[in-house]
Amino acid sequence: MKFWQRIYVFSLILFIFTFNFAGISIIEKIHNETLKREVNRCLSEHLSIYSGVNLSLPVYDTLKRYSRNISSDDEILSNAINDYYKKYNDKNAYVEIIDGNNKSVFSNVNFKIPDAREELKSLQPDTRQYIVKDIGNKSYIFISNLININNKSYKFTYIRNISEIYEERVNEYVFFIKLDVVVSLIFMVFMYFVSKYITKPIQNLIGATKRIIKGNFSEKVEINSKDEFGVLAENFNIMTEVVEEKINELERNNHEKQRFIDNLTHELKTPLTSIIGYANLLRSTKYNEEIFIDGLDYIYKEGKRLEQLSFKLMDLILLKKEEFKMHNESIKSIAFEVKGSLLPKLIEKNINLVINDDDFELLMERDLMKVLLSNLIDNAIKASKINSEIHIGINKDKYEVVIQDYGIGIPKEHIDKIFEPFYMIDKSRTRASNGAGLGLAICKRILDIHNGSFKVESEVDNGTSVKLIFNTAKGGDSSNEK
């Protein structure tokens, strides 16, 4: 059963139960209160008749003594009640008087009374008993007590037809059933649309999930409400954004891994082809000193290239796994050390490396920082023209280091890819310097270890600016120190 159907059915059941319970309770309460009032009225009428008969009894008793027309107590009582009843003249009220032998003394009852008379049992002086009986299709109230004449007890019963009260209850139930059917039908129609409307956001979410399953990870749910469904939709949209971002990241990583494998295969293939080719040449030809020396030279150079490639790959692996001891060091002192180690290359191209006077200390691994700056400055030297300058700017306020050269520059379409392993903008120039496109990948990993980031700006033939931005909140955490 669908969620909207459950809401519909449960709401309908709850409404019918509640509405019927309330209606029945109200009808029964009204009936009971009406019946109670009628019983009290009947008790008052009974008392009125009983009192009137009692007051007239002494008169009839006196007449009995001086008149031969009244010969017994039964006749006295019968005449008294008959005279009173003629004055009372209520067609729905009846009176019955029975003597001690259950013989009728007076009765104006025009219907058959059942033989079982619970109201007459165990009657006590100065007490009244009443009962409601259904006789035929009518309801009657019987009120009984004892009346005495000359020390002789009679059973005095007042009877009234109260069928109207029960008929009114039946009419109320008939009306309520009709009202119940009409209201329930209206509620059913109303709740159908309400349950559909309430669960519409869920249907939107279900539709969105189906579209996501088909691969549309940018799917969004449009629910403009501030209730729980609105919050759910907002969280769902956030989730889809995160999922899409993660999938895109996985795809990028897969592309990078595939490119890494392809490039690694290519980088290994070239020197291995040369080594195998020259080795086969030396093995299959007669000894010739010139060919022999040239062949060994090629084998040596390509072997060194493979050795350098393996060292770079090992550096990448170690940088991902190893934990390093961090100490506060001066960035400027490391820059000068790197300048000294690269001085031959600077002199060879007559390049002036200028380091500004600012300085700051950073929590770092000194050797890794030297590798980072060495790679970046070495790249700047390779890209610079003869008789040019390279500037190293140190900003102590922002904890930034900028390496600026004025060389050949980097095309914009390559800037986002230069930190990928084996990525080479100019493959011929890179291989000529025994490079494999791993230097900047190592630099990026070193900067990650120091909680830093790169910002590269470049223009072809106008040089490149590489900015190192250090996050001191993380990089300066002494808890990393071993």
Query: At residue 45, what is the residue type?
Result: E
For residue 145 the two structure tokens come to 């007590």
DSSP 114: P
63 and 32 Cβ atoms separated by less than 8 Å: no
For residue 397 the two structure tokens come to 């306020």
Q: Cα–Cα distance between 420 and 326 in angstroms, integer? A: 26
Q: Cα–Cα distance between 333 and 205 in angstroms, integer? A: 59
456 and 418 Cβ atoms separated by less than 8 Å: yes
Of residues 468, 384, 370, 463, the one with CA closest to residue 419 = 468
For residue 270 the two structure tokens come to 């070239």
371 and 403 Cβ atoms separated by less than 8 Å: no
Of residues 85, 78, 80, the one with CA closest to residue 59 = 80
Q: 102 — alpha (psi -120 to 50), left (phi > 0) or beta? A: left
How many C-beta neighbours within 10 Å does residue 357 have?
7
Q: Cα–Cα distance between 178 and 363 in angstroms, integer? A: 86
Q: Cα–Cα distance between 57 and 417 in angstroms, integer? A: 127
Half-sphere exposure of 32 (CA within 13 A, CB side): 6
Share of the chain above pLDDT 70, in %: 83
Q: Is 291 helix (H, G, I), strand (E, B) or coil?
A: helix
Q: Starting from the edge strand earliest in sequence, which strands make up the sheet with 400-405, in order? A: 352-355, 389-395, 400-405, 463-470, 452-459
Ranges in the chain, pLDDT < 50: 68, 427-436, 474-482
Evaluated on CA atoms 278, 282, 284, 290, the torsion sign reads: positive
Q: Cα–Cα distance between 325 and 462 in angstroms, integer? A: 39
Q: Cα–Cα distance between 59 and 393 in angstroms, integer? A: 138
pLDDT of residue 243: 81
Phi–psi pair at 421, nearest 5 degrees: -60, 135
409 Cβ contact partners less than 8 Å away, ≥ 6 residues apart: 383, 458, 459, 460, 461, 462, 463, 464
- 415, with CB counted inside 10 A (0-12, 13-18, 19+), is middle
What is the total residue count of the chain?
A: 482
Query: At residue 293, what is the residue type?
Result: I
Q: Cα–Cα distance between 201 and 57 in angstroms, integer? A: 86
Could you tell me the end-to-end alpha-carbon distance of the chain, in angstroms, rounded to an integer? 62
Alpha carbon 406 to chain centroid distance?
57
Query: At residue 328, what is the residue type?
Result: N
Evaluated on CA atoms 394, 398, 399, 403, the torsion sign reads: negative
316 and 442 Cβ atoms separated by less than 8 Å: yes
pLDDT of residue 478: 36
475 and 423 Cβ atoms separated by less than 8 Å: no
pLDDT of residue 430: 47
pLDDT of residue 148: 82
Evaluated on CA atoms 419, 423, 426, 432, the torsion sign reads: positive
